[in-house]
């Protein structure tokens, strides 16, 4: 039996470009030129952390709660109607469940978006639980989310495999003793995953 901890955005769901465009377009709509390193700064931030960062670092005529409210309306539509799974991702999850593996999600994404998306594809029941940064109180630049996921799976880190597209998160999981599979192609930093992870894939089809 395997214990598998999946990242969500950029790993199971094809949303990386949406997020990069989402952040940049929001700033442009509010007459702010996005910095070149915006994507890397947002990589391991929760939605609330990102809104606080925007409120503090950019000249916007709204506080972070107003930013969150505006984002929520847009993101609801994206996850409910437009975003799609990564190719073969859900087939791989289903195959692992049939083999008796325990699968969960550890994500910076808010629970309601993840659950809504999984329900669209009748996949919510395939996962033991969804663990979010809001529940844990820290991001993936710290190991707590991965450690809590392993604990809830009743498994030691060495007996768990983490699937991640973020180099920062992959480094953190690997440093905490987890086996890590890197998902290539989602981030500009993805080539660095090969130096950190136990193995990397470009598509879940490689594991079927």
Average pLDDT over residues 118-147: 94
Rounded distance, CA 173 to CA 179, Å?
8
The predicted pLDDT at position 17 comes to 83
For the ranges 35-44, 154-163, 184-193, which has the lowest average pLDDT? 184-193
Q: How far apart are CA 109 and CA 27, in angstroms?
A: 20
Q: How far is Cα 11 from Cα 81, in angstroms, rounded to an integer?
A: 19
The proportion of the chain whose per-residue pLDDT surpasses 70, expressed as a percent, equals 97
Q: In what order do the strands lie in the sheet with 130-132?
A: 130-132, 102-107, 3-6, 160-164, 179-183, 199-201
Asked whether residue 200 carries a pLDDT value surpassing 60, the answer given is yes
Reply yes or no on whether the pLDDT at 191 is more than 80: no
pLDDT tens profile 149-173:
999 999 999 999 999 999 999 999 9
Predicted local confidence at residue 42, as pLDDT: 80
Tell me whether strands 130-132 and 160-164 are parallel, antiparallel or unpaired. unpaired
- The average confidence (pLDDT) of the chain is 91
121-128: list long-range contacts, CB under 8 Å, 24+ apart.
Answer: 121/85, 121/90, 123/90, 123/93, 126/90, 126/93, 126/94, 126/97, 127/6, 127/93, 127/103, 128/102, 128/103, 128/104, 128/152, 128/153
Looking at residue 187, its pLDDT comes to 60
Minimum mean pLDDT among 65-69, 182-186, 189-193: which range? 189-193
The arithmetic mean of pLDDT across residues 114-138, rounded, is 95
pLDDT at 185: 78
- By C-alpha distance, which of 57, 54, 85 is closest to 70? 54
Q: Quote the pTM value.
A: 0.89
Would you say residue 188 has pLDDT above 60?
no
Predicted pLDDT of residue 20 = 78
Distance CA 64, CA 79 (A): 22
DSSP class per residue in 109-151: S-HHHHHHHHHHTT-GGGSS-EEEHHHHTS-TTSTHHHHHHHH
Taking only the tens place, the pLDDT of each residue in 9-20 is 999 999 888 887
Instruction: At 39, list the tokens.
Output: 């994507």
Please tell me the predicted confidence (pLDDT) of residue 189: 54
Q: How far apart are CA 151 and CA 162, in angstroms?
A: 14
User: What digits encode the pLDDT tens for the residues 65-80?
Assistant: 899 898 998 999 999 9
Q: Look at residue 186 in the predicted model and tell me its pLDDT.
A: 61
């Amino acid at each position: 039996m395997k214990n598998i901890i999946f990242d969500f955005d950029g790993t199971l769901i094809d949303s990386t470009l949406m997020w990069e465009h989402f952040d940049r377009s929001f700033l442009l709509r509010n007459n702010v030129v996005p910095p070149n390193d915006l994507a890397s700064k947002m990589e391991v931030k929760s939605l609330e952390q990102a809104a606080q960062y925007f409120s503090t670092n950019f000249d916007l005529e709204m506080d972070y709660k107003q930013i969150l409210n505006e984002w929520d309306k847009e993101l609801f539509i994206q996850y409910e109607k437009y975003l799609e799974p990564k190719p073969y991702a859900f087939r791989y999850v289903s195959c692992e469940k049939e083999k008796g593996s325990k699968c969960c999600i550890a994500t910076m994404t808010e629970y309601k978006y993840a659950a809504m998306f999984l329900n669209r594809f009748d996949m919510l029941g395939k996962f033991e639980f969804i663990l979010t940064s809001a529940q844990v109180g820290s991001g993936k630049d710290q190991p707590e989310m991965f450690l809590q996921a392993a604990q809830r799976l009743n498994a030691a880190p060495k007996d768990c495999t983490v699937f991640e597209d973020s180099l920062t998160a992959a480094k953190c999981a690997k440093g905490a003793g987890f086996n890590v599979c890197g998902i290539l192609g989602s981030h500009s930093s993805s080539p660095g995953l090969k130096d950190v992870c136990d193995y990397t894939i470009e598509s879940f089809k490689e594991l079927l």
